[in-house]
Structure formats: C-alpha cells, structure tokens
Structure 1
Amino acid sequence: MNPAKIEDTLKLVLVSWIVIIAAAWLMGRLCRRIGQPPALGEIAAGLLLGPSFIGLFAPDFVSFIFPEEVKGPLALLAKIGLLLMLFQVGMEFDFSHLRKKSKVVISSSIMGILAPLAGGLLIAPWLHRTFAPELPLFGFQLFVCIALSISALPIMGRILLEMKLERTALGATAISAAAIDDAVGWIFLGISTALIKQGDNFSWVPFLGQTALIVLYFYVLMKVVGPFIIRAWRKQCAKYQTDTFTPGFLALLFCTLFVSALITSRLGIFAIFGAFAFGVALHSEPALVKAWRDRFADFVIVALVPIFFTNTGLNTKIGSFDNATAWIGCFLVSAVAIIGKLGGCTLGARWAGASWREGLSIGALLNTRALMGLIAISVGKELGLLNDKLFTMFIIMCLVTTATTGPMLRAWLPEDLKKLVPKV
C-alpha cells in the first residue's frame, strides 16, 4: 500500500478511535454510577453514534467520523482487544471451588441451554412468519435457539471483577457454567453454519474428529503449555529479582497467546476461546495474574474492547421498527431470553443442591448476553438469517439482558457475599 495512503487511513482511524474511547468512557462511567456494567454504556455509546440516534439528525457527521476506510482497521483492533480481554478473564478466576460445585456447574449449564432452546423453538416460527418469511425457516430457527441460549463470558467476567466476586465459589461456578454454555453454543453455531452452507454435503465424521482435536488441545494446554509458561515466569522472577515482566518473557507470553488463538480458530471455534483457555492454564499463578493486570488491564478495557461494542451499535437501526408489531416482537425476544436463561439455570442449580439465592445469582449472571450474543448475532446476519429489523431486536435483547444482570445479582446474592460487593 502507498505510504501516503497508509498515513491518511491512520489519521481517519485515530479520529474514530478518539471518539469511541471518549464516548465509551463517558457512557461507561454513567452506567457504573447507576449500578450497570460499563459494557452496557459502551454498547449504548455505539447506538448513540450510529444511525439509530445521531445518524437520524446528522448522517453526514456519522459518515465523517466513521468513513468506510476505517471499518476494517477498527474491526481488527476490536478482535485483538477481545483476545486480550478473554486472556485476562481466564487468568482472573479461581477454579479450586469446582470440585465441590461440579454438579451445580453441569446442571445449571445444561438447563441454561435447554430452556432457552425450548423458548427459541416456540417463538421462532412466529418471528419468521411475521418479520422475515423470505428467510430459510430451518436456519432461522437454529439461529434463534443459539442466540437465546448463549451467555457473555467476558462481560460476566467484568461484572464479577467489578463486584469483587471473581475468586468466590459462586463466581467460579457461574463462569464455568457460562464457559460450557458458550462452548456448546459455538458448536451449535458451527453445525448450523455448516448445514446452511453445505446443505446435503454436510458430514458428521469430520466434525467429530474436529471435536476430539479441540478436547486434546485443551488438555495439552492445561497439562503442558500452562505449567511450562509458569515455570518460565518463576525462573525469570528469580533470575532478575523482579515481580513484573521482562521483555523476553513478555515476548514468550504473547507468542504463546496468539498461537493458542490461532490453533482454536483453525480447529473451528473462535480464536477468543484459545485466549481464554490459555488464561485458565495460568490462573494458578497469582503473581503472574497481578503483573498482567497492573501492566495491561486498563489499556485493554479502555482503548480496545469498546471498539467492538461501538461497531455493533453503528450497525443497529432502531428506526427500522416502523410499527407496534415490531416492538411486540422485540419485547417477546427479550422476555423469552430472560425467562429461559434465568429460569433454566436457577432450576438446574437447585436440582444440584444449591440454595435459591445461589441458583438465582447463577441465573442472573448467565443471563447476560452482551459480547457473545453480539458475536453470534453478527454471524447470523452474515449468513443471511437476519434482516435489519430482526438484527436490531436481538441487539436490544443483548442490551436488556445485560442491563438486568447487575440489579438481579445485587438483589439475590447470598448474604455472606453481599459484604464483598462495593456499593454503587
């Protein structure tokens, strides 16, 4: 590419990035003041900057701030931010509680998938008939079920971190159940994508082989790669008498992180799961976790992650709701999403022996859809399974489920954990 062209594109990207960081920070701070996760404000900032609000009154301004030339570079920055965020989320959690809580994890995650799936099967035919009869019914039903059953692992991580619950048994149980739900959701998404794209040519044999390779890779990551990196960390700390990163170790860490992301992407699941799994492999080394948090956490959260949410908001068109039926459909999607995930996870946790407060808290946490829901919705649109109206309905569902997570969790949190939560 021409160096002058690169410089021109860089200037455009910097202008867009400045606006995104400022808007996301302001809206995130506002949401935090009212007890909501900053991610909700970051998504709202994208909605405000996009065609749903400012774009209605000043479309030329939106085109000036976010021209076509910046969309590719911003999307790349957003992906890198998600990788680093998921890596941090994986490191931050203490999974030592899971031996006692494994039944709760499995039961709540299974019910947290089955109940929303059932809800999706109930409402998908009406949504299809009313809003998009031209779309393929089978693929649309699959997508609705997936979008309703998935949880937002990174946003749940941020909520738990902000509420100081990341190293509690409840936090570890919820994040593990969400990881299972998300993994199953991505598998379903992969299956549905293959079915839609390949039709009768789809074969189960390669898929089962792919699944076996993913399981094998995660095992190697936990038993070989993670311990090797931890030994390297301890060696560099002892050699240089330091509790932070040396350049050599940092190069090793980033290379391993990116290779892990590439491997999971090559194996057919999202690259962010490779980052998360690698973080989990290092979670048992608190000094390493602290060094990462001190060095990189704020930069990732403030400068990189908001780009993804803002891009989603820029593609959302609330103005496409041109009649009362559209708003009824929007309400129905959000209501079924909340009832299915909250009810399913709560009942699953109760059947496994958790208290009502624990079950409701787990359900409230898994109810948030923000990040993973947005990714799944974007895939659905790329596959041609969503028009603008349906896309906006599911975006609003992600906003509503994320907005209700904090208040529900504060209301239902067990009494012994409420004292850990900072006051709003």
Structure 2
Amino acid sequence: MSSIPVPTMAHHSLLVLLLQLALLLLLALSLGQLAAWFKMPAIVGELFAGVLLGPSVLSHVVPGFADWLLPKQAAQMHLLDAVGQLGVLLLVGVTGMELKFDLVKRRGATAVRVSLAGLLLPLGLGVATGLLLPSSLLPGGTDPMVFALFLGVAMCVSAIPVIAKTLLDMNLLHREVGQLTLASAVVDDVVGWFLLSVVSAMATVGLTTGTIAASLLYPVGVVLFALLVGRPVVRIALRAANRSPEPGPTVAVAALIVLLGSAATHALGLEAVFGAFVCGVLIGTSEELDREKLLPLRTTVLAFLAPIYFATAGIRMDLTALARPAVLAAACAVLAVAVLGKFAGAYIGAKLSGLDRWEALALGAGMNSRGVIEVIVAMVGLRLGILGPETYTIIILVAIVTSLMAPPVLRAAMARIEENAETEMGMGSGTPRDLTSPPPASV
C-alpha cells in the first residue's frame, strides 16, 4: 500500500514568496541605510519599506501589481508571516542574550526607581486611554478591558536596541546617563515581556477570575522552570557546543534553545516571543557562552531576518486611515499619552534618585524610544485580533515618532548637563564626566 505523498508548495506560490522577500529586503536595506544617513534609526526606513508596498502607497499607485505581489489569499500571506515569525523570535532571543544585567546591579536602586516610574505611569495612562477611545476603533468581539490593558503595555515598553544605538552614535554609551538609561531599559524590557505575555493570554482565553490567575501564574512558572531546570540544561548544551572551534555548533544550539523555548510558551497559551526572550536571557547569562561565536547568528538576524520582519510590519500599516478625523484624533491622543507618560515617569524616578532636571530629561528621552519592541507588541496585538488596522497603525506611528524624538532631545539635554558641569567647575570648557570619574553628590 503506497503512502500519500506530502504536498509540495505550488510553483506560483514559491515565485511570489521569493519576490516578496527579495523586494522587501531590497527596500528595507536601502531605506534603512538612508535613514541612518540622516541620523535616524534604521527601523524607521525598514518600516517605510513595507508602507511603500502596502495599502498606503502601492495599492493606490499600481493596484494590479500590488494585488499580484501581496495577494488577498491567506495561505500566501501566511508564508511571508512564517518567515517574519522566525525572524522576530530569533531577534527577541538575540536581544535577551545581549541584556547587560551587570548594569542593573551597578546602578542598583536608581535604575529600578527610574524604570518602575517610567513603566507604571505610562501603563496606567495607557489603560485609561484605551478605555476612553471610541469603540468603533476596536475590532469586533474585542473585550474593551483587554484592549485597554494591551494599549497600556504598548505605552510602557522601551526599545533597548534603538536606545543603545542612539547612545552609541552620540558617544553617550559609557557616560553616567547612558549607563543609567540602559540599566533602566533592561528592567523595562523584562517587565514588559512579562506583561505582554500575561495580557496576550487573557486575550486568548477571556477575562475570568480563573483565567486571570492562570495568565499570571503561567509566566511565573515559566521563569521558575527556566531558572531551576533550563539554566543547567543550557549550560550543558553550550559546553558541548564549545568543544568545536567553529562557531556553527554554538549558533545552532542557541537558535535551537530559542525555538524550543518559543514553542513551549506558545503551547502553554502564552506568547512565543516570551519564551524566546527567557531563553535568550538564559543563554546570555550562562558562563559557558562564548559571545564571539554568536556573532554569525547576530549578523544574520539583524542584517537579514529583522529587516524583512519590520518591512512586513510596515505592510500592515494603512496611513490613509489617518484621513478620518476620529482616527487622527485617536492617534494624536495615544501619541501624547505615550510621550508624556514615559517622560514624566522617568523624570519622576530620576528626581527621586537625586538627579538634576537635565539628567532626568535625558533619561526620559532615552526611555521614550519604543522602536523594535513596540513594533513586536503591535504585531502580536494584530495577530491576536486585539488591534484592528487603525489601532495597529497608531501604535506603529508611536514607535516611529518616539524613535525619531530621542536623538535631538538627548542632544539638547546633554548640552545643558555639560554646560552646568562646566559652570560648577568654574571652567570655560569642560570634560564630560564618565563612569571612571567621581560622581557628583546628587547622584
């Protein structure tokens, strides 16, 4: 008895997928480089690559080609989504591997105060804004409270990759403000991924006392399992991979751990990106890790998979929706809440830690950058049906605008910090303080 052959991908479907990937990558890399040339985060250009190919531009300019390249058939778009999902899981894993927890230990209570204040205030304001937005912006069947909680999570996250790149470009990465910003962002990242997983689980199973308890306990259980069981397993796997002088085994083991962790949390009804993040942290904090051997994985993810993912995210934006007054008003309100909430929260946390107003403003500017993480949160919301096309577009706009705001505000704040330092020292020109210099009494 002959077995039934496994179906293969249709010739036309493969052709469309290859052209989609090639065109998205070409535009994402080109516009990403153009954005970098103008001192903007590359993610801005990568998102606009998708905007050009999506309903905002290409569908109006060349509708026939747009329908051929991005057909309405779900099966064809699922192929592109599958590539994007692989990219985002590995991107989140790499992000977890690169978190500097030693910064949190060194900066201690100051980083925690800045982070928690910069997280809780926008979270609360985001939830309140979500409850006040018109119900017409919510997809049918979406629980208003789940939407409000999700919007709160979207408002409170920060984006370490964008923050780190901005600080590096401005030579602030090793300055006191830069170190505090990164340390605070680490705490934000950890709490943000946890909250995203909780709210996503609530959206999947509904809001009841039992499901809320399970949504809270499952992520805690995952973290405990990772610490007690996952950590020694990761250590053994990396030790075995290190026996090879080549980076290949280490790259393969790291990718395998991230994918298995993603599958595990997804099976539990949590977000797959939560598992990827937890496993990335386990890999990054393992004493067996040889970071040099992970460079090929990092390069592949950041130079190939991530640009395709962000371009795919841009495809789902519909800027023409902003022509509707209700959508435009909601976009302005959400953006204002996102910016004011993060700035005010980080400012309050910094002032409680004894920093002056310009240092507090610089911290707020750094923490305000949403970038990569905001896009991932928006894509999760769209996939779960929590967000519709309008609210998705609004949240992506928040990611873009806040990422563009960070450099100029940081430059202005740092100029005043250095000016004040020169005045206090009685100097006409001063040398910027770094971590090796004795901190002032206020820090």
TM normalised by structure 1 equals 0.82
Structure-2 separation of matches of 1:223 and 1:2 = 39
Closer/same/farther in 2, CA of residues 93 and 188 from structure 1, 3 Å limit? closer
Residue identity (%): 25
Task: Map 1:173-322; keep pairs closer than 5 Å.
Answer: 173-190=183-200, 192-193=202-203, 197-200=205-208, 202-220=210-228, 223-236=231-244, 242=245, 244-245=246-247, 247-283=248-284, 288-293=290-295, 295-322=296-323
Who is 1:400 aligned against? 401
Q: CA RMSD in A?
A: 3.3
| TM superposition shift of 1:325 | 4.3
Q: Which consecutive residues of structure 2, in runs of 5 or more, have no partner in the other structure? A: 1-5, 419-431, 436-443
Who is 1:422 aligned against? none
Structure-2 separation of matches of 1:255 and 1:66 = 31
Relative CO higher for 1 or 2, CA cutoff 8 Å, sep ≥ 6?
Answer: 1
Who is 1:389 aligned against? 390
Note the alpha carbon deviations across 1:209-256, whole angstroms, 9 max, x for none: 4243122123236742443345335543xxxxx3x42x5444433333
Structure-2 separation of matches of 1:266 and 1:344 = 35
Name the SS for the 1:321 alignment partner: helix
Note the alpha carbon deviations across 1:355-376, whole angstroms, 9 max, x for none: 5455434433332333332333
Report the residue type matching 1:217 in the other structure.
F
| Count of matched residue positions in the alignment of Structure 1 and Structure 2 | 408
Report the residue type matching 2:196 in the other structure.
W
* 2:145 is aligned with 1:138: yes
Who is 2:441 aligned against? none
| TM superposition shift of 1:107 | 1.7
Structure-1 separation of matches of 2:148 and 2:302 = 34
| TM superposition shift of 1:160 | 5.7
| TM superposition shift of 1:179 | 1.6
Which is helix-richer, 1 or 2? 1
Closer/same/farther in 2, CA of residues 256 and 188 from structure 1, 3 Å limit? closer
Closer/same/farther in 2, CA of residues 55 and 36 from structure 1, 3 Å limit? same
Report the residue type matching 2:292 in the other structure.
K
Structure-2 separation of matches of 1:257 and 1:111 = 31
| TM superposition shift of 1:182 | 1.2
Structure-2 separation of matches of 1:147 and 1:400 = 14
Report the residue type matching 1:54 in the other structure.
L
Report the residue type matching 1:124 in the other structure.
G
Who is 2:440 aligned against? none
* Aligned counterpart in structure 2 of residue 70 of structure 1, from 63, 76, 94: 76
| TM superposition shift of 1:391 | 2.9
| TM superposition shift of 1:348 | 1.5
Report the residue type matching 2:104 in the other structure.
L
Q: Do the aligned partners of 1:21 and 1:302 also contact (CA within 8 Å) in 2?
A: no
Who is 1:47 aligned against? 51
TM normalised by structure 2 equals 0.79
Closer/same/farther in 2, CA of residues 253 and 190 from structure 1, 3 Å limit? closer
Q: Do the aligned partners of 1:104 and 1:173 also contact (CA within 8 Å) in 2?
A: no
Q: Looking at CA atoms only, which structure, 1 or 2, has the larger radius of gyration?
A: 2
Report the residue type matching 1:215 in the other structure.
V
Task: Map 1:152-191; keep pairs closer than 5 Å.
Answer: 152-156=159-163, 159=166, 169-170=179-180, 172-190=182-200
Closer/same/farther in 2, CA of residues 363 and 286 from structure 1, 3 Å limit? farther
